[in-house]
Structure 1
Amino acid sequence: MTDDIARPIPSSIDETVELLEQQDYLADRRLATVIFLSLRMRRPLFLEGEAGVGKTEIAKTLSRALGRPLIRLQCYEGLDVSSAVYEWNYAAQMLEIRLAEATGIQDRQRLETDIFSERHLIRRPVLQALGQAGMPAPVFLIDELDRTDEAFEAFLLEVLSDFQVTIPELGTIKATEPPIVIITTNRTREIHDALKRRCLYHWVDYPNAAQELEIIRRKVPGCNAALSQQVVAYVQKLRTLDLFKSPGVAETIDWATALTELDRIALDPETIADTLGTLLKYQDDIARLQGGEGERVLSEVKADLRVAG
């Protein structure tokens, strides 16, 4: 939710770090720097990284922090212009044609102008992101761009180059103020260089143990300190294994929340086996950790924490 009062862009990297931290998003200096530059230079920000590391959350955080509406385009295979940009309200257009026939209107040019007017235009996310008069420029999240095809990428070039869209029946609609554009990809395929060149780039990596522990402290305040340390240490250890899909930060938060709901104060093999479905999302990975591998990891985690503590 935003209050529709756009707040100023931060004037320094330190201000950017503080702005994000106020929204409980912990960004390292490199990430804060590229966000700051993207905002100041009005360039799209291209974020790559594994699923669950917090790429999408950056757009949501900026929306809250800057008081801008969030427009989200969730990408998927087969995404086309009618779903992403605009389409005509055909039912309303047909009704207008029927009314014109009933009242005997013969001026075809006037009728065509009426049915292809703004009032019959359905704005999809791309067109919404170009803004409307009197509204602050939004944060435009193009999420998981790698799920679309190259044809849709090519279409986005016009949008990202000039922040405009051409509608044959209406002409060119151009943003009065460019939106704040965040593009995310899980790198399931490579994105064309022509699109990347229009953006600033950053690889969002998994947080280190200290950062992830602070995230748990903020996001799951009911999780006791000892359990939080064990959870983070266990997840960090899992990321060193050859799993089909390593757990992201979102899964760490879910696991800590689940364990808190179960009133657990420490990890044990039975609890881990019972709750792995909140942490891992593939049966092969779960089966591997429900056996001796899971107990071995837990033993290592407890040994490491004893040495550190």
Structure 2
Amino acid sequence: MTPAPHAPTRTPLAAAGPSRPLTGRPRALLLEGVHPEAAALLHRAGFDVDDHRGALGEDALIAAIRGVQVLGIRSRTRVSRRVLHAAGDLQAVGAFCTGTDQIDLQAATERGVAVFNAPHANGRSVAELALAEVIALTRRLPERNAAAHAGVWDKSATGSHEVRGRCLGIVGYGAIGTQLSVLAEALGMDVVFHDLAERAPVGRARRCETLHELLVQADAVSLHVDGRPQNAGLIGEAQLAAMRPGSVLLNLSRGSVVDLAALRRHLTSGHLAGAAIDVFPDEPSAAGRPFTNPLRGLPNVLLTPHVGGSTQEAQREIAVSVANRLVSHARTTTTARAA
């Protein structure tokens, strides 16, 4: 299934008791290296802010969240039902990222905890990286780069193509998919897309009614779907086999979407020319931790550590957007976006 990307998440204040505007000097806990502008904005609004670079496991988070009114996280910290029901003072969670898959939204609603995210703030950054990877894979830059670093002069046009005139298939045609569509078309690519939601095509892009219809005609397939359960395993053995010989696959959406073992088989067999993967089923909890993955070591694969939206511009925009909404909620209990 291929639903639309996230809309801004605003959990209603539930029957567990409405939030009241915070008084005194409330506490905020920020995890995972949220851009410093968020802490600065919260400080200016009168919060005491604890700012940590790493994620926390469930037990550690329960201990750290005592007495905290506002929690800020990115994608690695899991805010489970157990965490939410143990957090007696918590009034709002800010997800300083696009999605909210890591938060139990039903439990947040039951507890009257508002949840805010920034679904569109890093769209340009993700789209630019996807386009760069399409070009790099189509020109076989990963292999050429590795060979040159190994002292091998591999000057050849074999397997190397321009992107102009080639077909890009975009799975998930929301905020990121449409931006990628515009950028790719500006380079002369033909664009097709598939999305279960009704989406108006941008420019000359054409809609595919089924995922299979897109896979059999695209020279590059870029995934931009969310992490809801029905998207798990969206690209598996059958879908990879349906892709055009010599095509490339990009996943900058969610780690559960692609069967990596099957992808490795199709890369090593030569059926696919390359892949670029930015998100993984199991990701280290902090920078510097060991990273294991079945695609490591393949010369035609670009592996990046979940940095699709990690530009200074995007991270600052996310920080300002989510922090402002947390401050507004703390003052007024409103969940509406400020004008």
TM normalised by structure 1 equals 0.30
Bigger-Rg structure (1/2): 1
Structure richer in helix, relative to its length = 1
